[in-house]
Structure 1
Amino acid sequence: MTAKASQPNLTLTAIRHKIPVYSWLALFLAMGLLGFASFQIQSTSSITFDETFYLNAGVRTVASGTLDPAICDCGVAPLPIIICYLPPLLLSRNEYRHEAWVGHENDPQLIILPRRLNTLLVGMPLLIVIWLWLGTKCGPAGASLGVLMTAASPTIQAHAALATTDLSFTLFGLLGILALAHYLEQPTWSRLGILAIAMAACLSAKYSGVFLFPVAGLMFLGRALRDQNVPPTNETSTNVPETSATPTIETSTEKSPLSSSISRRSQGWWPVVRQTFVTYTLLLLLVIPLWWAFHGFSFTGPLKNVPLEVTPPDSPWVEILGRGPWADWIMDQAHRRWKRPAPIAGVLFQYLHNKTGHTAFLIGETSLTGWRTYFPCTIGFKSTPSELILITLLLLGTIFLRLAGCISWSQLDFSRRCLWLSFAVLAALLLFARINIGHRYVLILYPLFIMLGIDTIFMIYHSFIVRFPNTSGTSKAEWPRVIFTLIGSLLLAMQLWSSWSIQPHPLSYFNGLCGGPEQGGRLLLDSNIDWGQDLPTLQKLLASEDSSKVALQYFGTALPTAYGIHADPTKALRRPLEDYELLAISVTHLGGLYVFGNDPYQKFRTWQPEARAGYSINLYRLDTPERKAAFAQAIQEHEKARAEYLLKQ
């Protein structure tokens, strides 16, 4: 007899009555931990590269009274800006900002409230969603372990503290996945509406939310196949659509082989295709206008940017329509008459960006189109030991349960299927992505790792209880409970240690297996370690220095002067080169990324820095002839390359 791999699911109503006090305390402790860590990070972090754009776009939106077209034109989905930036900006008066990527002196004050709102309105709900799901699947112990591990994750903490789009996408992506499962459990019009709203919100948080479309299509197909194989019942409901695309009840998965065989022979594939097509079409008809509604039904300009006469052969318009009278007429009208809805502009930018690529860095190499191994490497480098163990247990544990006959795809409920399928689709999209510029792109995978990993651990635990009863013959053996309690406690203790050891710089976290954050700049750059966030720490280090003799090579959009730093930027040095005594350089530029010249600062990588501002800015004392010569050579190469670039422009 096959062992049942998991506990019966609790309903959300039952959670209030059945989950003990310690699990509620774990939730509140996790929320307090995330809030405290976020406050520490916010108080020591300058405005980051992307936050500058979001803040400026929010100011422009408030000043103009309409959604800033630059938001979607730059491929940014607007919902995080609407949630976190617009409320505080509506309460303050700011002049219209013409440059979207340039920082201002009052940015340190303006960014405080958007960051706090991101923590409260995005970070805290994410914890609650994870806690509720694990509570229904694994009980109070699993919910407690999962919510505390999530709150103590340096990756989650870093993005809960910063007002960026990545954690919003994680929250709304997870809600979209669970809304899909909620609909599939009992398809009704109301649940279809909830699913459409959740998907539209996910797409409006980040355009990567398109992953939900293949997930929904495949799950609809699976549901239609299951319905075809289940004998029909006489039960009906009045609150659902009459189409077979939205079944009226949740039918039993138990069926006789004979009735299933008869059903398959008599119905064939057409009902399956029809049900899937109708349901998917209904969903699209709901999602698309809701998606545009989250953009304020705004436009960003002509549907086609350039006139027909100057359309290049490799234009997406030509690739899709080809050339001919009708194609030329459509392209001409698209430029002169038709306007471009804001969501279309955002998706188009992301498509072209991914097609072109973006300069990326991985273990000393650069590439415009990235590597298939990039995101697996970022997970390996930037996950905590607990998270790596949990990922390993998830993969190996699933294989064990499958080989032992404890689980199969048909035995999983819809929420587990949706989570697993979403994980597979996201992994495939990430492996083939040509934009390899940050670990933050895999942020949504971490709740999936934690939820599915802990769920797998509890499946194994209950399998052991059934298979290895104690000497009294009961099914409540003590040794599996002791072992799994120790495993959970060890995972949580290691996670808390990882979180504590990196504070208040979790954005730069690298695990000890790859050398820690001190060696992170040799492995990954950009937002993996350096997003322009460490100016406050740099200001403290430079407090005892003569700022007029400090040269600053800074990667970021924040104004150093807004944080009390008056060093000379390397592109505008006011002294002879030999007069400078200290060089402060962001590790992104130190690694040769996004800097004019052919890796001009490479020689500095062979020397130990005098000090570090966090882990993103190194300080080098220019106190030897060799270092002064290396500095002069770097500046000369930098200036020459910059001048050549300006001439080309």
Structure 2
Amino acid sequence: PINRQEPGWLCETVATKTALVRIIAVLLAMLHAALAITAAMEKSPTFDEPTHLTAGYSYWLKNDYRLDPENGNWPARWAALPLLWSRPAFPENAAWNRGDVGRVSEVFLYRNGNDSDRLMLQGRSMVAVVGGGLCLLIFFCSNRLFGPFGGLISELLAVFDPNLLAHSALVTSDVTAAFFFTAAAWSYSRLLRFLNARWFVITALSWSGLFLAKMSAAAFLLVASILVAVQLASHEPITLRVPAFEQRITGFWRKLIVVSGATAALLAVVVLAIWTSFTYRFCPFPQNTPARDVWNARWNACLSDRTALENVVGFARDHKLLPEAYLYGFAFTNKSAMFRPAFLDGDWSNTGFSSFFPRAFLYKTPIPVLLLLMAIGIAGFLRWRNAWKDGSIKTIGRDLTKLSPIWTLILVYSAFSLTSHLNIGHRHLLPIYPALFIACGACAYFFRTRSTMMLFAGAMLCWQIAESSFVRPDYLAYFNQVAAGPKNGYKHLVDSSLDWGQDPPALRSWIAQNPDRFGTGQLYLAYFGTALPEWYGIKAKSLPCDRSAPKLVPLEPGTYCISATVLQQVYSFRHGKWTRQYESDYHQVLARSIDESDLAHNESPTHDEDLQRLRFARLCAYLRHRDPIANVGNSILIFQLSQRELDQALYGPPAALVP
């Protein structure tokens, strides 16, 4: 009989209602997709979305792979699938001939007569389906490990996680990669125990999806190797089942032979899937197109260092082992990861920070998830300590084997992240979050009858839901209390961790709600993104952030709207802190370009690229020492500047150099 005085009776009740639990799980997954897509409807396309959607459409429409090959072929195709019904006009211009994906995507979405918002909604809706599927996958895995209640705990954490909600409706490959990393690890671990047609097909689909979703899929090979080692070291047999035949395989060498054969077959399927995705064609495009010259130059740059990995890629290209676009995408990703500007906690680097991802994880993981992980860690440690004292070493071994797809994925991918120089966003940690949520389901296993733990888990779930609700719809800009909340996120991380160009609609609303601020002053905008502000009715003078500006724009008193990534000067030509060398260079170009009579009014018509970049960098350095009057969407900072403050920013002693 169930003691209904204990909260644990709820676990038993839920466990006996299998159909009800599954219905709840499906409804929660649908809720996640709905929350993600409705929030995304209030946001403009983020930096990478136009290129992904345009590239995916070109794959279907043109059977051509010149655009954006470094990102996943499958996610781009999946997102662009609805466009085959609406058939928007596709630009075939000089940019297309060169393979200039940035220009092609801009024309496709904003200058070709297409409904940009509708196209983006269609693509985002497809990704939201993957996000909902990921929540169901998390439930399935946790349910198998820790029972129905554990499965629901894990799924609830995922459904309301701000980070998953932020990316579950963006036309990118991040959530898709998280789905396939989890599915590949789980299905392969099952295949290593139950080698049958069902698990082979599921594993083959998962592996194929992963290698077509993200170039970081190569890290999974180490996950698979560890899973094999765990299986071979365990005493559990492999149940081999084929039509009209079943046998239990035991012994190290016999298991190794069977596993090696199955894994080789899986890799063969992956190679076949890659060729299929590129329609069994080596060349990405017809050879007589101008894009070939561009690609040859890019190939030379990607293979310039002649490292061992680059030599392997070059060998595969020369012998046509895989489609050229796929190999180029891998080479490009590898090369770009070696040198990429990054910002972290007020510091800048060209090669990244070893502490970037640990700190990003600490800042952007909701506190209730961190507390649940700590509780599970303590409970697991106590369980293993008691088992060790009692001489039950096999208990530890069984636990490690049972949980191997979880801890291997977390450890390997975390280690992979620590060695990465590509510190552009917390989103690159998304593949470990499903495993973490699954691990949190263990609280239903460890503390099933303890009222205090049940109350603790319930409180953490309520906290998670509250965190998600308070930050909506600004999920991408979520930061926890360790980072002092979303309003202070720009002091810690930028780019896709916070400001990915998603907030022109929010800026438009803020401008409409504050018309009094623009009565006498100018409105300036320095925007980090690929969406067009004018598409959203924003009439502002564009601040010259780089050499592409047509002229030196006079800076006058008014309202300055600056994206967080631009404010931190991560990708500018004079990036990082304002230094004495920058100050010296600034005074030199001032002396060369502007005479004394122009200084007071800041109206020189001279077009000087150095002055343009240095002046804006100095302005940003000044503004970094001020608090904004508003923080729109937590990603666009608003400053009000008078003439006196402008003079101080451009000609006074720089605050960054004052002792």
Judge same fold: TM > 0.5, yes or no: yes
Tell me, yes or no, if structure 1 residue 505 matches structure 2 residue 474.
yes
Between the aligned partners of 2:345 and 2:299, the Cα distance in structure 1 is 44
Alpha-carbon contact 1:359-1:367 (below 8 Å) kept: yes
Task: Give the Å deviation of 1:497.
Answer: 1.0
Aligned partner of 1:136 in structure 2 is: 144
Alpha-carbon contact 1:363-1:524 (below 8 Å) kept: yes
Q: Which amino acid aligns with 2:475?
A: P
Structure 2: runs of 5+ lacking an equivalent: 1-7, 577-616, 654-659
RMSD of aligned residue pairs (Cα, Å): 3.6
Q: Structure 1 residues 632, 509: CA separation in 2 closer, same or farther (over 3 Å shift)? A: farther
Tell me, yes or no, if structure 1 residue 66 matches structure 2 residue 63.
yes
Task: Give the Å deviation of 1:359.
Answer: 0.9
Alignment of 1:315-394 (within 5 A): 315-316=306-307, 320=311, 334=318, 340-354=323-337, 356-394=338-376
Q: Which amino acid aligns with 1:588?
A: T
Q: Structure 1 residues 91, 415: CA separation in 2 closer, same or farther (over 3 Å shift)? A: farther
Equivalent of 1:606 in 600, 625, 643: 625
Between the aligned partners of 1:240 and 1:429, the Cα distance in structure 2 is 43
Aligned partner of 1:641 in structure 2 is: none
Tell me, yes or no, if structure 1 residue 422 matches structure 2 residue 422.
no
Equivalent of 1:38 in 36, 52, 69: 36
Alpha-carbon contact 2:310-2:331 (below 8 Å) kept: no
Q: Which amino acid aligns with 2:561?
A: A
Between the aligned partners of 1:597 and 1:224, the Cα distance in structure 2 is 54
Q: Which amino acid aligns with 1:386?
A: P
Aligned partner of 1:3 in structure 2 is: none
Alpha-carbon contact 2:525-2:540 (below 8 Å) kept: yes
Alpha-carbon contact 2:230-2:404 (below 8 Å) kept: no
Q: Structure 1 residues 532, 418: CA separation in 2 closer, same or farther (over 3 Å shift)? A: same
**Residue identity (%):** 23
Equivalent of 2:379 in 384, 390, 397: 397
Alpha-carbon contact 1:56-1:101 (below 8 Å) kept: no
Between the aligned partners of 1:219 and 1:166, the Cα distance in structure 2 is 24
TM-score (norm 1): 0.78
Structure 1: runs of 5+ lacking an equivalent: 1-6, 242-247, 253-262, 264-268, 463-479, 635-649
Q: Structure 1 residues 315, 547: CA separation in 2 closer, same or farther (over 3 Å shift)? A: farther
Task: Give the Å deviation of 1:573.
Answer: 7.9
Deviates more, 1:216-225 or 1:552-561: 216-225
Alignment of 1:284-323 (within 5 A): 284-300=267-283, 305=296, 314-316=305-307, 320=311
Equivalent of 1:431 in 396, 411, 418: 418
Q: Structure 1 residues 25, 547: CA separation in 2 closer, same or farther (over 3 Å shift)? A: farther
Q: Structure 1 residues 488, 598: CA separation in 2 closer, same or farther (over 3 Å shift)? A: closer
Secondary structure of 1:205's aligned partner = coil
1:50-93 residue CA offsets vs partner (Å, 9 max, x unmatched) = 10211221343344x21432221xx1011111111232254222
Task: Give the Å deviation of 1:278.
Answer: 3.3
Task: Give the Å deviation of 1:451.
Answer: 0.5
Alignment of 1:14-163 (within 5 A): 18-19=17-18, 21=20, 23-24=21-22, 26-63=24-61, 65-72=62-69, 75-96=70-91, 98=95, 99-102=100-103, 103=106, 104-105=109-110, 106-119=115-128, 121-163=129-171
Q: Structure 1 residues 309, 285: CA separation in 2 closer, same or farther (over 3 Å shift)? A: closer
Equivalent of 2:529 in 556, 565, 588: 556
Secondary structure of 1:596's aligned partner = coil
Aligned partner of 1:534 in structure 2 is: 503
Task: Give the Å deviation of 1:32.
Answer: 4.9
Equivalent of 1:281 in 240, 264, 270: 264
Between the aligned partners of 1:193 and 1:62, the Cα distance in structure 2 is 25
Task: Give the Å deviation of 1:404.
Answer: 1.9
Q: Structure 1 residues 577, 452: CA separation in 2 closer, same or farther (over 3 Å shift)? A: same
Tell me, yes or no, if structure 1 residue 524 matches structure 2 residue 485.
no
Q: Structure 1 residues 547, 590: CA separation in 2 closer, same or farther (over 3 Å shift)? A: farther
TM-score (norm 2): 0.77
Secondary structure of 1:443's aligned partner = helix
Aligned partner of 2:179 in structure 1 is: 171
Alignment of 1:242-253 (within 5 A): 248-249=246-247
Deviates more, 1:559-568 or 1:595-604: 595-604
Tell me, yes or no, if structure 1 residue 566 matches structure 2 residue 564.
no
Secondary structure of 2:560's aligned partner = strand
Aligned residues: 565
Task: Give the Å deviation of 1:353.
Answer: 2.2
Alpha-carbon contact 1:58-1:81 (below 8 Å) kept: yes
Task: Give the Å deviation of 1:167.
Answer: 0.7
Q: Structure 1 residues 20, 33: CA separation in 2 closer, same or farther (over 3 Å shift)? A: same
1:111-149 residue CA offsets vs partner (Å, 9 max, x unmatched) = 111112211x20111121122222233223222222221
Q: Which amino acid aligns with 2:41?
A: S
Q: Which amino acid aligns with 1:112?
A: L
Q: Structure 1 residues 183, 361: CA separation in 2 closer, same or farther (over 3 Å shift)? A: same
Task: Give the Å deviation of 1:628.
Answer: 4.9
Q: Structure 1 residues 292, 389: CA separation in 2 closer, same or farther (over 3 Å shift)? A: farther
Q: Which amino acid aligns with 2:184?
A: G
Equivalent of 2:454 in 444, 461, 485: 485
Task: Give the Å deviation of 1:372.
Answer: 2.0
1:538-562 residue CA offsets vs partner (Å, 9 max, x unmatched) = 0112232469921111101111111
Between the aligned partners of 2:490 and 2:439, the Cα distance in structure 1 is 31
Alpha-carbon contact 2:59-2:77 (below 8 Å) kept: no
Alpha-carbon contact 1:581-1:621 (below 8 Å) kept: yes
Deviates more, 1:123-132 or 1:27-36: 27-36
Alpha-carbon contact 2:487-2:631 (below 8 Å) kept: no
Alpha-carbon contact 1:20-1:140 (below 8 Å) kept: no
Between the aligned partners of 2:474 and 2:374, the Cα distance in structure 1 is 26
Between the aligned partners of 1:309 and 1:499, the Cα distance in structure 2 is 46
Alpha-carbon contact 1:553-1:570 (below 8 Å) kept: yes
Secondary structure of 2:48's aligned partner = helix
Task: Give the Å deviation of 1:159.
Answer: 0.8
1:465-503 residue CA offsets vs partner (Å, 9 max, x unmatched) = xxxxxxxxxxxxxxx431122011111111011011111
Alpha-carbon contact 1:67-1:298 (below 8 Å) kept: no
Task: Give the Å deviation of 1:616.
Answer: 0.7
Secondary structure of 2:502's aligned partner = coil
Between the aligned partners of 2:310 and 2:473, the Cα distance in structure 1 is 49
Task: Give the Å deviation of 1:283.
Answer: 2.5
Between the aligned partners of 2:71 and 2:334, the Cα distance in structure 1 is 12
Between the aligned partners of 2:234 and 2:370, the Cα distance in structure 1 is 35
Between the aligned partners of 1:26 and 1:145, the Cα distance in structure 2 is 12
Between the aligned partners of 1:310 and 1:277, the Cα distance in structure 2 is 37
Equivalent of 2:199 in 188, 191, 194: 191
1:617-644 residue CA offsets vs partner (Å, 9 max, x unmatched) = 111112241235526899xxxxxxxxxx
Between the aligned partners of 1:83 and 1:96, the Cα distance in structure 2 is 21
Aligned partner of 1:208 in structure 2 is: 216
Between the aligned partners of 2:141 and 2:176, the Cα distance in structure 1 is 18
Deviates more, 1:380-389 or 1:591-600: 591-600
Alpha-carbon contact 1:157-1:506 (below 8 Å) kept: yes
Q: Structure 1 residues 579, 376: CA separation in 2 closer, same or farther (over 3 Å shift)? A: closer
Task: Give the Å deviation of 1:275.
Answer: 4.4
1:569-597 residue CA offsets vs partner (Å, 9 max, x unmatched) = 11248896254511110011111211233
Alpha-carbon contact 2:79-2:126 (below 8 Å) kept: yes
Between the aligned partners of 1:62 and 1:237, the Cα distance in structure 2 is 39
1:259-279 residue CA offsets vs partner (Å, 9 max, x unmatched) = xxxx7xxxxx75565445434
Deviates more, 1:34-43 or 1:532-541: 34-43
Alpha-carbon contact 1:47-1:532 (below 8 Å) kept: yes
Q: Structure 1 residues 294, 416: CA separation in 2 closer, same or farther (over 3 Å shift)? A: farther
